[in-house]
A and B are shown apart, each in its own frame.
Chain A
Amino acid sequence: MKNNARHLMLSALAMLSLAGCGKPPEPSASTPTPASSPGSSPAAAAATPAPQAEEKKLNIFCWSEYIPQDVIDAFSKETGIQVSVENYASNEEMLAKLLAGGGSYDLIQPSEYAIEGLIAENLLVPIDHALIPNLKNIAPEFLNMSFDPGNKYTVPYMAGTVGIVVNTELVKDEITGFNDVFQDKYKKNIVVLDDAREIVTWAMLSQGIPVNDVTDENLEKVKPTVAKWVQLVKVYDSDSPKTALLNGDVALGVVWGGEGALLLNADKKFKWVMPKEGTHLFIDSLAIPKIAKHPTNAQQFMNFILRPDISVKMSDAFPYLNPNAAARPLLTKEQQENPASFPSAEQISKMQTFKDIGGQATKVDELVTSLKAE
Chain B
Amino acid sequence: MAGISAAAADLGASAYKRRPSWVAWLVFAPLAAWLILFVIVPTLTLVALSFGEQRGLGTVEFTFTLENYQRAFNWTWLKVFWTSIWYALLTTGICMVIGYPVAYYIGRSPENMRNMLLTLVMIPFWTSFLIRTYAWITILSKEGLINSFLVAARIVPEPITILYTPFAAVLGLVYNYLPFMILPIYTSVERLDNAMIEAAYDLGARPVRAFSQIIIPLTSPGIVAGALLVFVPSIAMFAITNLMGGGDPPTIGEVIYKQFTSGRAQPFGAALGTLLLLIFIFTLWIGRRRSEE
Instruction: Answer whether residue A4 sits at the interface, using C-beta atoms and an 8 A cutoff.
Output: yes
List chain B positions with a Cβ less than 8 A from chain A: 40, 43-45, 47-48, 51-52, 54, 56-59, 61-64, 76, 79-80, 83, 137-138, 141-144, 159, 161, 163-164, 242, 246-250, 255, 258-266, 268, 281, 284-285, 288
Partner of A121, one of B57, B141, B249, B265: B57
Instruction: Answer whether residue A244 sits at the interface, using C-beta atoms and an 8 A cutoff.
Output: yes
A96: B residues at CB distance < 8 A: 58, 260, 266
Taking the closest CB of chain A, its distance from the CB of B250, in whole angstroms, is 5
Contact call B142/A95, Cβ cutoff below 8 A: no
- How many residues of chain A have a CB within 8 Å of chain B? 53
Contact call B58/A92, Cβ cutoff below 8 A: yes
Contact call B261/A92, Cβ cutoff below 8 A: yes
Q: Which residue of B lies closest to A90 (CB)?
A: B261
Instruction: Answer whether residue A55 sits at the interface, using C-beta atoms and an 8 A cutoff.
Output: no
B242: A residues at CB distance < 8 A: 194, 236-237
Contact call A118/B141, Cβ cutoff below 8 A: no
A114: B residues at CB distance < 8 A: 57
Contact call A99/B44, Cβ cutoff below 8 A: no
Q: Which residue of A lies closest to B281 (CB)?
A: A4
Contact call A197/B59, Cβ cutoff below 8 A: no
Taking the closest CB of chain A, its distance from the CB of B122, in whole angstroms, is 29
Partner of A197, one of B260, B262, B266: B262
CA distance A247 to B163 in the complex (A): 10
Most buried by A among B58, B64, B247, B288: B58
Known: A96-B58, A96-B266, A361-B264. 12 other contacts (CB 8 A): A15-B47, A18-B45, A18-B48, A26-B59, A117-B56, A188-B161, A196-B263, A247-B138, A359-B264, A369-B76, A370-B76, A372-B248
Contact call A19/B48, Cβ cutoff below 8 A: yes
Contact call A95/B285, Cβ cutoff below 8 A: no
Could you write out 19 A-B pairs with CB less than 8 Å apart?
Answer: A4-B281, A4-B285, A11-B47, A19-B51, A96-B266, A118-B57, A121-B57, A194-B242, A197-B262, A235-B246, A236-B242, A236-B247, A247-B138, A248-B143, A358-B264, A359-B54, A365-B263, A365-B265, A369-B76
Instruction: Answer whether residue A362 sits at the interface, using C-beta atoms and an 8 A cutoff.
Output: yes
B265: A residues at CB distance < 8 A: 362, 365
A1: B residues at CB distance < 8 A: 284-285, 288
CA distance A62 to B61 in the complex (A): 27
